[in-house]
């Protein structure tokens, strides 16, 4: 089994793309497994979510995965799990994410039973900060629950798992979302009504359920019979235990308001006296808050999560590996450094008697002798020794020259390089 294909069992060492040493299994679901891993170069711990591409495509969930990548690439907040990069092979997609050493908040509740009101408030403040930030970026989580809230080594909360999230662009003409989703015990009553809902307001409801669970140690709406539980949610039937303070009771009544029109908003929550006790507004750098790719001149471009999805056709990322020449050009992957690829394109062009000039450090332009065509070659770094080469041609015969004269120089040299690399890989 190749090290770039699939993590092996925990007892054997697997290295992904020559960059991440994969360790123990942290958790698994129907379509993905999450492993602890270590960045070999920096020693940094990361979590690697491994998605089986075949299963995802076969069950029609490609849109969910693409949306999750797009959403996580735009979110930069201290209380949201950060997506570092996305890697891919023909069969797997790898989300390399921030590692939350403290594990799930759900596990902490299961162990402790319930938290003090002050500790619950601290977690709730961090949750609302993250959720409010998401809403400001046009993102609605739609599956907030303790299982999707992680803790770092300092005990700070991190929101994770944006697989069911929606973005503002999905809102219909009526201004509402209509997809039925979420976890039964945390779902808002208006979702059960099947008439459309406001993504921000259903997130607030779920936050209210989480707060209740943190302080009570059990769910506000619960019943072995799912339909009975839904009736309780729809009618707002819940009782606060005796240890809840009067202020918390009043606050929860506003958060768990069954009427979305009168339910308190995130802005309203932040101004509530119960919430503001000991509250410290989360501050972070403006450049992180932008959540946008910054283009740096004279640097080799490194693919971020959004770029990777944009390169694909649907979710079939095999185009990054196989490379088929189309009408305008092609993309394919090489296991080689970006600098080396650029240098060899330049050398190949000179061998063929073609004009060549640099387009910043990450690419070159090759011209015909009489300037009748131009071939633009861009190199994008996917990992330290893995790149995506994109070639586009303008003018008659450009792609024929690329296919028959330039590309063979790259592929011939790469074959021996890959054979040597594979012989050195740890399986």
The catalytic residue positions are 143
Q: What is the DSSP string of 11-55?
A: TS-EEETTTEEEEEEEEE-SSEEEEEEEETTT--EEEEEEEEHHH
DSSP 80: B
Residue 398 CB neighbours (<10 A):
22
CA-wise closest residue to 37 among 18, 55, 53, 51: 18
CA-wise closest residue to 57 among 285, 275, 396, 316: 316
Question: What's the distance, CA 317 to chain centroid?
Answer: 16
- Distance, in Å, from the CA atom of 369 to the CA atom of 413, rounded to the nearest integer, reads 25
Helix axes 199-216, 246-255, angle to 10 degrees: 150
Residues 6+ apart with CB under 8 A from 253: none
- Distance, in Å, from the CA atom of 88 to the CA atom of 86, rounded to the nearest integer, reads 7
Question: What's the distance, CA 403 to chain centroid?
Answer: 35
CA-wise closest residue to 357 among 342, 370, 339: 342
Contact 121, 275 (CB under 8 A): yes
Length of the chain: 427
Contact 406, 366 (CB under 8 A): yes
- Distance, in Å, from the CA atom of 235 to the CA atom of 238, rounded to the nearest integer, reads 9
């Amino acid at each position: 089994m190749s090290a770039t294909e699939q993590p092996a069992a925990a007892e054997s060492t697997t290295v992904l793309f020559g960059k991440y040493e994969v360790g123990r299994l942290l958790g698994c679901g129907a379509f993905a497994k999450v492993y602890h891993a270590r960045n070999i170069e920096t020693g940094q711990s990361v979590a690697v979510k491994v998605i089986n591409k075949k299963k995802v495509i076969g069950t029609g969930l490609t849109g969910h995965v693409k949306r999750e990548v797009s959403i996580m690439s735009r979110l930069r907040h201290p209380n949201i799990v950060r997506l570092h990069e996305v890697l891919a092979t023909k069969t797997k997609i790898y989300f390399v994410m921030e590692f939350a050493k403290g594990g799930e908040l759900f596990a902490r509740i299961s162990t402790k039973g319930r938290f003090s009101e002050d500790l619950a408030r601290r977690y709730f403040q961090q949750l609302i900060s993250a959720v409010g930030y998401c809403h400001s970026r046009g993102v609605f989580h739609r599956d907030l629950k303790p299982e999707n809230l992680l803790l770092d080594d300092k005990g700070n909360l991190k929101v994770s798992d944006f697989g069911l999230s929606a973005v503002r662009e999905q809102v219909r003409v009526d201004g509402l979302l209509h997809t039925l989703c979420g976890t039964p015990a945390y779902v808002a009553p208006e979702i059960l009504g099947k008439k459309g809902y406001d993504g921000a307001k259903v997130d607030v409801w779920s936050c209210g359920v989480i707060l209740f669970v943190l302080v009570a140690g059990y769910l506000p709406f619960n019943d072995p019979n799912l339909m009975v539980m839904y009736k309780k949610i729809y009618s707002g039937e819940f009782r606060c235990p005796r240890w809840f303070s009067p202020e918390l009771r009043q606050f929860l009544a506003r958060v768990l308001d069954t009427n979305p029109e009168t339910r308190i908003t995130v802005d309203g929550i932040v101004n509530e006296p119960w919430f503001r006790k000991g509250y410290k507004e989360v501050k972070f750098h403006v450049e992180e808050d932008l959540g946008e790719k910054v283009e740096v001149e004279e640097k080799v471009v490194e693919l971020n999560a959004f770029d990777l999805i944009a390169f694909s056709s649907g979710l079939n990322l095999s185009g990054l590996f196989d490379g088929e020449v189309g009408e305008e050009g092609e993309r394919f992957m090489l296991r080689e450094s970006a600098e080396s690829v650029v240098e060899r394109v330049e050398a190949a062009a000179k061998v063929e008697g073609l004009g060549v000039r640099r387009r910043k450090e990450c690419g070159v332009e090759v011209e015909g002798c009489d300037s009748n065509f131009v071939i633009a070659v861009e190199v994008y770094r996917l990992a330290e020794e893995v790149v995506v080469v994109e070639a586009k041609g303008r003018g008659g015969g450009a792609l024929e020259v690329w296919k028959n004269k330039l590309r063979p120089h790259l592929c011939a040299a790469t074959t021996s390089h890959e054979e040597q690399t594979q012989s050195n890989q740890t399986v």
